[in-house]
Amino acid sequence: MDRAEEAGLTGAAGTIATTSGPGIAAKPRTGGSLTYDERAAFLFVAPLAVVLLAVAVFPIIYSFYISLFTLKLTRPGRMPFVGLDNYATVLSDPQFWHAVERTAYFSVISVAAISVLALLVALLLNENFPGRRALGAILLVPWAIPYVANALMWKWIYDSNYGALNGLLYQLDFINSYMVWLGDADKTLPLIANAFVWKEVPLAAILLLVGLKTIPSDLHSAAKVDGANSLRRFVHITLPSLKPAFALVAIYEMMMAIRHFDLFFILTEGGPGDASHVVAWRIYVETFRNLSFGTGAAMAYVLALATLALAYAIIRALAQRI
């Protein structure tokens, strides 16, 4: 058989291979059309994409659109375009900046307390002792409680007439009479922060416990052989190894604290006076009580951008040390 015949047979075999049987190479795509699998994939993903567009993307875009107008429900039919004037109004409002100060104070004391308590819980759960699993399951209960239920529980605990806190302190002779805990402006934010910390510590402890499990035991063994005591091993091995876990805890809990609203709404409704007027509460008051949706949307965007900027700053700062 000469070479021409061999080439002809090879070409014919290639043609047959591209047009027959499973497991054979598929036809090359022509004209940019989608394959059957790609069309099926888009079909299955389409409902989820529609839901995300409806409940996530559209509200974000529409709220930014509203922030560019003066929209008040007390003046229906009037919606003048004001551009960035709503943002200028928010940033020039002294009450807004006072709310920022309270938010910063609440966030800092909350995240600091969460980090310390979660570390202690994680170190405890990292040890082997009878009942460790049961204790870990019990510690997850606060995290599993919804925020509203958590707020109602702490409202009853802080109640000035029949609250458990007053009853306990009175029985132990720490106080002479029942106190109005949430009526003291100096105590309000720390007490709300206490309720927030109680709920958030379990999740932070789990994240830190995962970080503890990743530390090689050989490091502690070698340090112990070299004569390092428990404190030195904790300072020079455990804490440096937990930096990624601490970074995750700090970012998540800071974002949760800055945007938190439920406890302030149920426990104090911004009171006493304006002692618990944080930024999230100010947004609620401006939008749903003053019915000024334009300014409220602008304030919400300022909070969102500030939260993103803070998270980015924390990531960059901690990433250089990890």
Assess if residue 108 is contained within a domain.
yes
Assess if residue 74 is contained within a domain.
no
Assess if residue 66 is contained within a domain.
no
Number of domains in the chain: 1
Q: Is the N-terminal amide bond of 272 cis, ω within 30° of 0?
A: yes
Range of 131's domain? 87-319
- Spell out the residues 6+ positions from residue 255 whose beta carbon is closer than 8 angstroms to its own: 307, 310, 311
Query: Looking at residue 23, what is its pLDDT?
Result: 45
Helix (H, G, I), strand (E, B) or coil at 86: helix
Assess if residue 183 is contained within a domain.
yes
Query: Looking at residue 31, what is its pLDDT?
Result: 52
C-alpha distances (whole Å) from 217 to each of 153, 221, 245 are 41, 6, 18
Write the burial class of residue 189 (CB in 10 Å: 0-12 exposed, 13-18 middle, 19+ buried).
buried
Write the burial class of residue 8 (CB in 10 Å: 0-12 exposed, 13-18 middle, 19+ buried).
exposed
Query: Looking at residue 72, what is its pLDDT?
Result: 86
Q: What is the rounded distance in angstroms from the CA atom of residue 22 to the CA atom of residue 296?
A: 61
Assess if residue 40 is contained within a domain.
no
Helix (H, G, I), strand (E, B) or coil at 68: coil
CB half-sphere exposure, 190, CA atoms < 13 A: 5
- Spell out the residues 6+ positions from residue 276 whose beta carbon is closer than 8 angstroms to its own: 102, 188, 189, 192, 264, 267, 268, 270
Q: What is the rounded distance in angstroms from the CA atom of residue 278 to the CA atom of residue 100?
A: 6
10-residue averages of pLDDT along the chain (322 residues):
46 45 48 78 89 89 91 82 91 93 95 94 88 86 90 93 90 90 91 94 93 85 81 85 88 91 92 90 92 92 90 77 58
Helix (H, G, I), strand (E, B) or coil at 131: coil
Assess if residue 286 is contained within a domain.
yes
**Which residue shows structure tokens 């919400």?**
300
Query: Looking at residue 56, what is its pLDDT?
Result: 85
Assess if residue 237 is contained within a domain.
yes
Would you tell me the crossing angle of helices 243-258 and 185-213 to the nearest 10 degrees? 150
Query: Looking at residue 9, what is its pLDDT?
Result: 42
Assess if residue 127 is contained within a domain.
yes
Predicted TM-score (pTM) of the model is: 0.82
Query: Looking at residue 202, what is its pLDDT?
Result: 93
Q: Is the N-terminal amide bond of 244 cis, ω within 30° of 0?
A: no
CATH of the domain at 280: 1.10.3720.10
Query: Looking at residue 95, what is its pLDDT?
Result: 92
